[in-house]
Structure 1
Amino acid sequence: MADRSPTMSEDFPTEFDTPQDNPGFLLWTITSRWQRQVRQVLDPLNLTHAQFVLLASLGWLCTREAHITQIRLADHAQMDPMTTSQVLRTLEQKGWVTRLPHPRDTRAKVLQVTPEGHTMIEQSIPLVEAVDRAFFAELGPEAVALFKKLDQRSS
């Protein structure tokens, strides 16, 4: 019997010949590359990707709904409530978001974007959208359809 190294593919517990054949691994590496590019354009603004997502989401929600709560924002951004709370605290410290008393629920706070926060949204969205356009350009309009299909499956 031949001495077989534990690193040989037939001894490795996967159905895939290579990591690049595994859709989960591919999604991970693609997402990492895209996030790295987004981070590069947001770093000069002193804005993390999570801060951007919550700030832009809050800005968008405020144009469509009244009385946006932390839970509503977390649901919209698909971010866990604890992370949302921590990121919102930082956005508030930066002066980009305020928390005001809710008119009907004494336990809740209403989130609002400050004028400085609006300025940050106006600066950051075009930068991130430029990254998105360049990164996903080869996929064309099929990219959005694919992502929507994946998003529906994960709900």
Structure 2
Amino acid sequence: MSRKSVPAELSASVPVSPESSQLLVVFGKFGLAYHRWARSHLPVDAGLTVPRATMLLGLATKAERVSMGELAEFLEMSPRNVTVLVDGLEKENLVRRVPHERDRRATLIEITEDGKRVVEKTLLPSQLAIAELFEDLTPRDRKDLIRLMMKLLTSLQARGVEAPA
């Protein structure tokens, strides 16, 4: 995903309400706290870090094998870091490298049956525990939050920021 800077003419000329400034602070605090919450619910005994868990979950949802470049983009990591992650997961037989059918230079990554078991028995229950936070909201609040977050995602996309599908 590309990161674009805000054009100088926009950053200085757009008036910002006090509520928008407050939302900036609250979103920042929430983002950090939510990241800690999610990390605290990863099973420690499974040896999973957030990037490893994210890679396994992402691969489990894909119907097809994924290139290393696609993984790097998905995880917002350098290709070198993705290679290190894949190396570790491959040693544990959670993912495997497969040669591309048509491009001899490309290598595809797929989740193994062992990887699918880790996702099903370890990561999915962990995700449910993380999602439990949102049960503190009423059903109406959850629907409103989804609607508002989707609206903000659309606003980011309109400003040229790539967002996950």
* TM-score normalised by structure 2 residue count: 0.68
Partner residue in 2 for 1:147: 149
Structure 2: where are the runs of 5+ without partners? 1-15
- 1:73 and 2:75 equivalent? no
- Give distance in 1, aligned partners of 2:152 and 2:31: 14
Give aligned pairs, total: 135
Aligned-pair RMSD on alpha carbons?
2.6
CA contact (8 A) 2:51 2:75 kept: no
Structure 1: where are the runs of 5+ without partners? 1-14
- Give distance in 1, aligned partners of 2:145 and 2:92: 34
**1:114 to partner: Cα distance:** 1.4
Amino acid at match of 2:48: L
Amino acid at match of 1:23: L
Name the stretch that deviates more: 35-44 or 81-90.
81-90
**1:125 to partner: Cα distance:** 1.7
CA contact (8 A) 2:97 2:109 kept: yes
- Give distance in 2, aligned partners of 1:48 and 1:91: 11
Amino acid at match of 1:116: D
Partner residue in 1 for 2:124: 125
1:35–1:71 CA distance, 2 compared to 1 (3 A): same
- Give distance in 1, aligned partners of 2:51 and 2:143: 25
**1:63-115 residue CA offsets vs partner (Å, 9 max, x unmatched):** x23x321222333x352343433322322233211111111111111111112
- 1:46 and 2:80 equivalent? no
User: Where do 1:1-150 residues align within 5 Å?
Assistant: 21-44=21-44, 45-61=46-62, 64-65=63-64, 67-75=65-73, 77-82=74-79, 83-122=81-120, 123-132=122-131, 134-137=132-135, 138=137, 139-150=141-152
- Give distance in 2, aligned partners of 1:135 and 1:103: 43
1:94–1:135 CA distance, 2 compared to 1 (3 A): same
Partner residue in 2 for 1:11: none
**1:23-48 residue CA offsets vs partner (Å, 9 max, x unmatched):** 33322221221121221221422111
Between structure 1 and structure 2, the one with the greater Rg is: 1
The 4+ residue runs of structure 1 with deviation greater than 4 A are none
**1:16 to partner: Cα distance:** 9.0
